[in-house]
Structure 1
Amino acid sequence: MNIPDQIREKLAVLNPQLLDLRDDSAKHAGHAGAASGGGHYRLQIVSERFVGLTSVARHRLVYETLGEMMRREIHALAIEARTPGEAAS
């Protein structure tokens, strides 16, 4: 299973209504983080799990859910985490 699929699988526990993951690694070729093998990703995720959480808490929840992947397979992750209510407006 490739890394984006692994990321999607791990984030499935957040029951996302929307999960859009883009691999931007090619844009960072030659960058020190890319040399270590870690990819660069952009994530848009909408989940009820974010209701009542600050932006920082939402990001922490995503990082905790991805666990060890944040230390090896993922060098950089840009996150847009919204609640369903925020996504609808």
Structure 2
Amino acid sequence: MKPRSTKHLALKIAALALPALADRLTRRLAARGFTGVTGQQPPRNPAVPFVTWKEAILWTAIAGAMGGVARMASRKALAGKLPVET
């Protein structure tokens, strides 16, 4: 097994951490936008009695889609940087 360079190790760490970080930051931005538009905090727990089905589904769709796109974009940005291991 041949030793890996420091750059390779740093890219591997970034490939693990960057998608999660992008998802987290995007969901925070989505929460701020939701609060700005509706004047309410996003429904974090749909089991709370005052959260309606409409609010829960809307928030899940927005946050999930935005977080998914952020994860995909960060992975796509790193895709050409790491060599394929066989």
Q: Please, what TM-score do these two structures have when normalized by structure 2? A: 0.32
**Greater fraction of residues in helix:** 2
The structure number with the bigger radius of gyration is 2
Where relative contact order (Cα < 8 A, 6+ residues apart) is larger, the structure is 2
